[in-house]
Amino acid sequence: MKKIAILNGPNLNRLGKREPEIYGTQTLADVEEQIRDEATALCCRVDFHQSNHEGELIDKIAEMADQEYSGMIINPGGLTHTSVALHDAIAGSNIPTVEVHISNIQRREDFRHQSVTAAACIGSISGLGVQGYLLALRFLVGT
């Protein structure tokens, strides 16, 4: 059975409350429930982690690198645009990773157009809402 990690970065614990016109009204718990349902249908295991702290996310990726994960889905939040250290952690993990963004970062403020972390990932999904997580999960389970 494949084991997939889902990591969410800063402010994603505020889904459903923070800027619902951009991120929607579903909470992170709602998103995780949808992913769990999809994982059950795909016969895979999913583990979730959210942190507002860059170092904690980096530590989690390093921990997972030694735990034989088949894939990782990451929404780095605002760290997408700034964190070389997170990029390096993803690249050094050897875990096939898909970057997901609920909003379309290309349609946002100019500073959000560039992803520092995407180059360490095998793919990126942006602007498809919560469906992006489900598409990433299907992709990783199929590889």
> What length does the chain have?
143
Q: Active-site residue among 23, 69, 87, 133?
A: 23
Start-to-end C-alpha separation, the chain: 13
The contacts of residue 58 (CB under 8 Å, 6+ apart) are 85, 86, 89
Q: Is 133 marked active-site?
A: no
Which phi-psi region, left, alpha or beta, contains residue 128 (left: φ > 0; alpha: ψ -120 to 50)? alpha
CA–CA separation, 111 and 131 (whole Å): 24
Q: Active-site residue among 49, 81, 87, 101?
A: 101
Residues annotated catalytic, as ranges: 23, 101
